[in-house]
Structure 1
Amino acid sequence: MEEPRYYGTVKELITATSETYKDDVAFRVKIKQGKDPEYIDHTYKDFIENVNSLGANLYDSGFKGGRIAIIGRNQYYWVVTHLACLFGGIVSVPIDKELPLGEMEDSLIRAGVDAVVFDVKNKEQIEQIKANGKTNIREFICMNDKSEEYRCIEDMVAAGRELTESVRQEFIDFMPSPEAMAILLFTSGTTSKSKAVMLSNRGLACNVSDLLVFEVFDEHSTNIAFLPFHHILGSTGMLFALADGMRTVFSDGIRYIKQNLTEYGVTFFLGVPALIDKMYETVEKGIEKQGKTATVERAKKLANFLLKFGIDIRRKLFKEIIAQMGGQLKYIISGGAPLSATVAQGFTDLGIEIYQGYGLTETSPVLAAENKGHIRAGSIGRPLPSVQVEFRDKDEDGMGELCAKAPNVMIGYYENDELTAEVLEDGWFHTGDLGYMDKDGYIFLTGRKKDMIVLKNGKKAFPEEIEILLNKIPEIQDSFVFGEPIDGDWTDLRIAVQVQYSAKELESSHGALTEDQIRDLIWEKIKDVNQTIPHYKRVTDLYLTEEPFIKTTSLKIKRKEQIKKVLEL
């Protein structure tokens, strides 16, 4: 692996790579929906020109050194706005478009933003926030709709081109401080009020530079920007695609993912396990429907046997199956939560390379990842080149808390020195994740420190590792494992699970069932799983529900809220 070339800022990194790929398409944007869709291509040269023009306009409008919130769906002018902020020393504040009005307003107030760039689909919320009059926001700018009421980003880009050379040059020549805050990002808040994380320009640029040498993909790959940009994995993934010379396209939504993979010839997909699991489940159901399950399994064995001799026929052999995912998909990157080993192996057997990464919002985000030739079962990979890792406060089994020191570690939590001091110590970030590293440098994680279930005998169980096993059961849509107090005593816990199921799906596969029969069916499957794990980790109580669990927008269970709901506390 070659040494990374590090840049002090995102501006230096993206400007350099955009010069290399200046005539290549950076973004393909659909401008007309329907049976005969129309598209417009933006080359890297066009894109940088648009960023510089918008940036000059923002400077001319008095926003230099300010803060701008961005609220909306993934789209071209979201990226242009974000990069104009990063290039010009304006703090970018991505806000989740799905937040309830009160939380959205609170985030804008806490961040102290000077302007909001919003999607027309969020106009109703914006109008209400304006009417409430609680913020000091100077201007609201529409991302994608022209009206007399608001300036529009597209018009601001055009106007920026017409500004005087001195105004434009001021923005182009400006170089942000590498250590200064570049992004103020609110976490999903699975257990409490969201934290505002300050990330630096250097941290973002360093993380992308590390990934460029750690993960090597085909030239001219096509990336679909599916993960929302208000999550750090989505926005850093977009920066990586730009730095790697990829062409980026935008999804029309989860219902259209298969159609989008086909129409754009997508080769590179960055997603979360919940979505990747669904993709694989759809593939498996398609094979089963055609009655080809046994045939495909035999073909996988043949392909894997030939692979030992350097003969790779997987993509030819499984061409029809890959066609269900657009036909061109070559790479899947999973992040945000543990990936099922079964799903990872399933895609690999088909000839689609799948790697998982690990990180947090506070680390910009990637700390460790798998890459070609370096995959070990159960591991989340090895640390990136600039990341130092230690496991501290180890128990008798050698398991400790993962701590990391790297340029991509956050500056701190905004206006919360006390919380910052709890997780940052002499530059070392305490992740809250427990695990260990083997002799070859592969990291293995067992669960979150705060989610750990400590039993009365001192044994420790982690909900996530049990949930991964339970979620493989076909009759279970999702599972939530928690420590249940015995006779109301929270110092004496047993392992319990709430299972989400679909009566309709169970009826189609098992016939009409009563609730007691459903409970018996699922419990028998759970007992089978129990036989594969240590006695103290075994599930001893079962709750059923057809309601989806309480989750964040990044699809993580809000465990404290869910346990209160289950136990009706």
Structure 2
Amino acid sequence: METEYPDRIAMRYYDDAKEGVQEVTYRQYAHDIRCIAGELEATLSDPVGKKVCILAANSYHYAASIFGSVLAGAVVVPLNLQKSWDDIHYELDLVEAAAVLHDGKYLDREPALGEVYADKLLPITGYQKYQPSEGRVCQDREALMAIMFTSGTTGRSKGVMLSQKNLFAPMPAYCDPFNVMLAEMGVDHYDFNHFTVLPMFHIAAFTSLVSWAIMGMAHNLCTDLRNFYRDLSLMPCDTMAAVPVLLQSIHRDVMRGRKDRLGKLRTLTCGAAACTPQMMLDLMHNGFFIMQMYGLTETSGDGTWNNDQSEKHISSVGMGDEPICQYSIQDGELCIKGDPVMMGYYKEPELTAEVLVDGWFHTGDLVRKDEEGYYYITGRKKNLIILASGENVSPEELEKLLSACTDVQECIVKEKDGKICAEVYCPAEAQDAVRAHITEVNRTLPLYKRMTLVEFRSEPFARNATGKLVRG
């Protein structure tokens, strides 16, 4: 980056203290990355293989810290700032953190962090007083480079071990679709800017930082979603990857005639959880190019891509990233093999053995594949409801039918007392309409699939870091 395009913009972000947008070139970005490597070398003596955790909000310093840690030969461990102290304490202890780069936000909320890890805390901006280092050239592409904790919807998060080989293997899949799309649009990719809203502890943001640097393109950082529209208006943003909850807000703006609030944003990537087909069609019909993707932390974010803009495949997560990955459907479950597949779960050999069988990673996602090679997610294997009769019911299938009712804001289908129960979040005044909708849906279903219990809740369901509903 410092030799191929040193004067191109690498990052933009709004600086509250300076009350304006700051721009960082790739030359400065590389210099700061080297300074972080220098800081870790000076602080940890020999950082090679040691765990450097990052506990901070999205920022330019966070991005530089990821690369600086890797350059120093350390194992980078991004952590979720929103987690409880119990969870963060567990994860820091699990990886045996040698250093914790932080911005003070979590420490303000949870003083116990300072009490337990006082000798390991380093300000995330502390690198500015250190000299740049040459760092280390990677000696072993299969050695541990990063531990990414899964967002998880049940139980403790698992630490996914990723090597340089894992993380860089899918880069063609991340870069090539943009190059093809921009060629079709007649746009110079150096003038195409990414609006970054996903948290940097998430695999999609992590790999985006790498792929954008490979292409020499600019990231515009949204460091706080409360300033989403301000930042969008102040920086030239062309594309954005987002979870469905955020895309729903964009969809509302568009359908209410407020597309102007979105500036020059024109391409949207949706992943992490399913978006409704109608929402995506509405956005397409209003001039947006929609890319759907399916990937997992365990596959370095790789999986499938859907760039088709037709209604025919709107419900699909796309086609496989072949030949980088191989795909197999085993007992209805999607399995993936290839260089992007993780080394395993950190200190969890039994869990690793459950999901990695003969090199195949068992995703836990149930799929079908059409004659053109497009994959469709039909549910989660662990969510299957197995009735006393032996029948299997996919809750996701029923949830899609429930969500067709406009009054249903959120819903989960589960088993309760041997019956299929629909738990629904909706306005109180809409409960009768929802019950009527469920009655109509049940008439179209075989007896064993019918929802015979309905529960209403007064608050939305909890969600994990990627926007997925947390099932009880």
- Asked if these proteins are the same fold (TM beyond 0.5), I'd say yes
The answer on 1:64 being equivalent to 2:47 is: yes
Residue 466 to residue 245, structure 1, CA distance change in 2 (3 Å): farther
Q: Indicate conservation of the 8 Å contact 1:237/1:270, yes or no.
A: no
Counterpart for residue 139 of structure 1: 120
How far is the alpha carbon of 1:159 from its aligned partner? 2.0
Counterpart for residue 477 of structure 1: 409
The answer on 1:213 being equivalent to 2:194 is: no
How far is the alpha carbon of 1:82 from its aligned partner? 0.5
* C-alpha distance in 1 between matches for 2:297 and 2:78: 13
The answer on 1:103 being equivalent to 2:87 is: yes
The answer on 1:392 being equivalent to 2:330 is: yes
Q: Name the aligned partner's letter for residue 374 of structure 2.
A: Y
Residue 464 to residue 274, structure 1, CA distance change in 2 (3 Å): farther
User: Residue 32 of structure 2 is aligned with which of 50, 75, 96?
Assistant: 50
SS at match of 1:59: helix
Counterpart for residue 315 of structure 2: 378
Residue 188 to residue 112, structure 1, CA distance change in 2 (3 Å): same
Stretch deviating more after TM superposition (107-116 or 470-479):
470-479
How far is the alpha carbon of 1:80 from its aligned partner? 0.6
Q: Indicate conservation of the 8 Å contact 1:87/1:176, yes or no.
A: no
Q: Indicate conservation of the 8 Å contact 1:211/1:384, yes or no.
A: no
Counterpart for residue 435 of structure 2: 523
Cα-to-partner distance string for 1:401-434 (whole Å, 9 max, x where unaligned): 1110011111001111111111101211011111
How far is the alpha carbon of 1:384 from its aligned partner? 1.1
How far is the alpha carbon of 1:339 from its aligned partner? 1.8
User: Residue 249 of structure 1 is aligned with which of 220, 234, 243?
Assistant: 220
Which runs of 5 or more residues in structure 2 are unaligned? 183-188
Counterpart for residue 348 of structure 1: 284
Residue 359 to residue 258, structure 1, CA distance change in 2 (3 Å): same
Counterpart for residue 363 of structure 2: 431
Q: Indicate conservation of the 8 Å contact 1:63/1:114, yes or no.
A: no
Counterpart for residue 269 of structure 1: 240
* C-alpha distance in 2 between matches for 1:128 and 1:277: 37
Counterpart for residue 131 of structure 2: 160
* C-alpha distance in 2 between matches for 1:264 and 1:22: 20
How far is the alpha carbon of 1:532 from its aligned partner? 5.9
The answer on 1:440 being equivalent to 2:421 is: no
The answer on 1:23 being equivalent to 2:23 is: no
How far is the alpha carbon of 1:472 from its aligned partner? 4.0
Counterpart for residue 507 of structure 1: none
Q: Indicate conservation of the 8 Å contact 1:225/1:238, yes or no.
A: no
Cα-to-partner distance string for 1:195-238 (whole Å, 9 max, x where unaligned): 11101111111122222113434312221211111111221222
TM-align CA RMSD: 2.2
Q: TM-score, normalised by structure 1?
A: 0.76
SS at match of 2:313: coil
* C-alpha distance in 2 between matches for 1:244 and 1:429: 29
SS at match of 1:362: helix
SS at match of 2:432: helix
Q: Indicate conservation of the 8 Å contact 2:99/2:122, yes or no.
A: yes
Between structure 1 and structure 2, the one with the greater Rg is 1
Q: Indicate conservation of the 8 Å contact 1:482/1:497, yes or no.
A: yes
The answer on 1:454 being equivalent to 2:417 is: no
Cα-to-partner distance string for 1:147-195 (whole Å, 9 max, x where unaligned): xxxxx43xx234224xxxxxx33x1x52252111111122123121211
Stretch deviating more after TM superposition (467-476 or 177-186):
467-476
The answer on 1:358 being equivalent to 2:294 is: yes
Residue 265 to residue 465, structure 1, CA distance change in 2 (3 Å): farther
Q: TM-score, normalised by structure 2?
A: 0.91
The answer on 1:555 being equivalent to 2:461 is: no
Counterpart for residue 186 of structure 2: none
Q: Indicate conservation of the 8 Å contact 1:215/1:372, yes or no.
A: no
SS at match of 2:153: coil
Q: Indicate conservation of the 8 Å contact 1:322/1:329, yes or no.
A: no
Q: Indicate conservation of the 8 Å contact 2:52/2:69, yes or no.
A: yes
Aligned residues: 460
How far is the alpha carbon of 1:256 from its aligned partner? 2.7
SS at match of 2:451: coil
Q: Quick one: percent identity of the two aligned structures?
A: 28
* C-alpha distance in 1 between matches for 2:443 and 2:242: 32
Which runs of 5 or more residues in structure 1 are unaligned? 1-14, 144-151, 162-167, 288-320, 394-399, 487-493, 504-512, 562-569
SS at match of 2:86: helix
Q: Name the aligned partner's letter for residue 407 of structure 1.
A: D
Counterpart for residue 325 of structure 1: 262
Residues 198-209 of structure 1: pairs in structure 2 closer than 5 A: 198-209=161-172
SS at match of 1:20: coil
How far is the alpha carbon of 1:365 from its aligned partner? 1.2
Q: Name the aligned partner's letter for residue 123 of structure 1.
A: L
